[in-house]
Structures are given as C-alpha cells and as structure tokens.
Structure 1
C-alpha cells in the first residue's frame, strides 16, 4: 500500500518565490477595490444563482449548479488571497530621501546597447503590467536598478544586455 506522501506526490506544488510586500498607493487601492467588488457585487449574484439552481432538484446532473459552485470556489479563493495579501502589504508613499537614485516607485528611463529607449516603473508584484511599463520589484531588471543613479550602467547577464540609466523620475509616479 502506498503512503500518503506517495499518493499525493503528483499533487505537490512547490511554493512560488517569495514576493516583496511593497506596493504603491494606487496598487493598494486597486486590490481593495477588487476585493470590495468581489465581496459586495459578484459573490451575492453567484450565490443566488447557485441557490436557484439547487432548487431545481437533482444536483448531480445540474450543470448550472455544478458550474456555479465551481465559480463560487474560485471566487472565494481569490477573496481569501486578497484579504491575506492586503494584511501583508506595505504601502510605499512619497519620494525617497535621495531622489537621484532608483528606488521603489520610480520611473526609470533606460537606453540599451542598440540605442533603444525604454521607460519602466518599479512597482509591487501585484501591480505587474509589462505593456504599461510596470515591472515588479522582484524582477531581475528592477533588482539590478535599485540603488543606481543617473548614467550608471546595468548589466543583465541572463539576457547578455546592458542598459544605461538616462532618467529617474518620481514626480510622474506620484501624479498617476
């Protein structure tokens, strides 16, 4: 007979990398708004739909009931995640003591070796949006940028790329 460890070995998922608890005020507001919307607006609608589907009778073959319960479990999982995450985050407001260096919340303009210019904002893991230029504080590029100043060069060995910092801005970050 297999032990419990052997039976469930296929289900084991290694924990993801530890994420930084830092977040911008805008990111914290977005997480709170999502939690509020899920809890006050979306969950009651699904709960009512599941109740109506359950009233129809045989639940074992009731697709609406089964699908509604699945949606409810997924929503409850997200609500639990948001509640836990909001308890752990640290909102970073204002500009740092030395605005000439790259820290959390900064907009950083870089030029790569091919003279391509890119602008990134260093934000929390929950705010990640590469298409808007938002990179996670936990990303290799952000970790390489932290503490650097204008005209410093940053090398990313994984990508065989180098970048030069040509602008650091906290004002546009606060204005968003």
Structure 2
C-alpha cells in the first residue's frame, strides 16, 4: 500500500478550547445516571439518613454517618453530571458527511489501522465520558485519538505514547453508529440493596426451608 503523508499530532492547543464532544449514546448514558441518582438513589439514601437520625446519638450512629457521607458523594456526582450534560456538544457519527469530513478521521470516526508489525486494530473515537477499552472506544483527547485525528486511508501517523513512539498506517476510516454501553444501576447502590433485601426469604421462611 502506498502511504500518504506522515502527520504528527498537535498537543499544544489551549485548554480553553477543549470541548465536551459526545455521541448520542454517551449523552443518553449520562442523562440516565443523572436521573437515577436524582430521582431514585438520593431519595433512598435520604430516607435511610432520616431513619438513622431517629436512632439516638448521631455521633455514634454508623448508619447516620455513612448515609451523610454517601449523600455528599451523590450530590457531588450529580453536580458533575449536570455540568457535563450542560456543556455537551452532541456529534452523531451517523449523520451525513461530505468532502474531507467523510473521508478523514474526526470525532465519531471508526478507524482501522495497523502498526509496523502488520497487526491491525479497529478503534472508535469518542468523548472522554465514553471511553471503554473493552469496546475499543478511545477518547479524542488520548494520544492515539490525537494521532488519528484528520488522517485518511493510506496515511501514516506518529503515535507518541508513554511507552515510546510508533508509526501507524491508516487502512480505513468510516462513520457508523457507535454502541455505548447503557447505564445500569450499580450493584452497591441503596436502591439495588433494597431490591435484594425485598427478594430475600424472611427468617421464618428460611427456617421452614431448612426443616423440610
């Protein structure tokens, strides 16, 4: 294959120009987590705190102290998610593109490339809130994301990573739907804990089961 130009990524862009680009799936996941924390997890923890507050000395009340600490964590996460959602700049990889926007790798592109040893890899360039290495979703701000940005089929790019410098050859650039893993309720959440306790056998039923 005849290689095109070799491009070196630019890493001296002012921090003030950094934007929160995100795909539709990534934005939906942020909104789902925000909604879960605000309407389900936080009210559940508030209920626990209120219950614990009525159980005597708060300074020696583990449930109360844990609940208050958990509330601070939830409120911090809600504030963070609110800011990320508000600052989000939605980019749909499936929208029609023309010219260089359709043939060169920008945010939302799926890129197939090979290294000097001929080993191929496919990655999708996504937002910092969507990184999922198990799905080969890399941040547009990562060393690899920066190296691939603006490249086209046949180009050679230089990857500058902590482990050293590597030359890569771009084999294909395409734009398609990027499947982001949906938000799921954390196993350690108060809501999921309630579900587990509700589905557990009451003590008297467990005694019956053991006596059979």
Bin for the TM-score computed over the shorter chain: 0.7 to 0.9
CA contact (8 A) 1:23 1:89 kept: yes
CA–CA separation in structure 1 for the residues paired with 2:114 and 2:96: 24
CA–CA separation in structure 2 for the residues paired with 1:112 and 1:95: 30
CA–CA separation in structure 2 for the residues paired with 1:135 and 1:29: 18
1:168 paired residue number? 173
1:3 paired residue number? none
- Larger Rg over CA atoms: 2
2:72 paired residue number? 73
Structural RMSD (CA):
2.2
SS at match of 1:75: helix
CA contact (8 A) 2:19 2:89 kept: no
1:112 paired residue number? 115
CA contact (8 A) 2:34 2:78 kept: yes
In the TM superposition, 1:23-172 aligns within 5 A as 23-93=22-92, 94-97=95-98, 98-158=101-161, 159-172=164-177
CA contact (8 A) 1:123 1:137 kept: yes
CA–CA separation in structure 2 for the residues paired with 1:88 and 1:157: 29
CA–CA separation in structure 1 for the residues paired with 2:160 and 2:78: 39
Summarize deviations over 1:53-101 as a string: whole Å, max 9, x none: 1110100010111011111100000001011111111001224433111
Aligned residue-pair number: 161
Q: CA deviation at 1:143?
A: 1.1
CA–CA separation in structure 2 for the residues paired with 1:133 and 1:22: 18
CA contact (8 A) 1:20 1:125 kept: no
Q: Which has the higher contact order (CA 8 A, sep 6+)?
A: 2
1:20 paired residue number? 19
Summarize deviations over 1:94-142 as a string: whole Å, max 9, x none: 2443311101101101111111111110001110111210111111111
TM-score by length of 2: 0.71
Gaps of at least 5 residues in structure 1 are: 1-15
Q: CA deviation at 1:169?
A: 1.5
CA–CA separation in structure 2 for the residues paired with 1:142 and 1:134: 10
CA–CA separation in structure 2 for the residues paired with 1:126 and 1:120: 16
SS at match of 2:178: helix
CA contact (8 A) 2:110 2:125 kept: yes
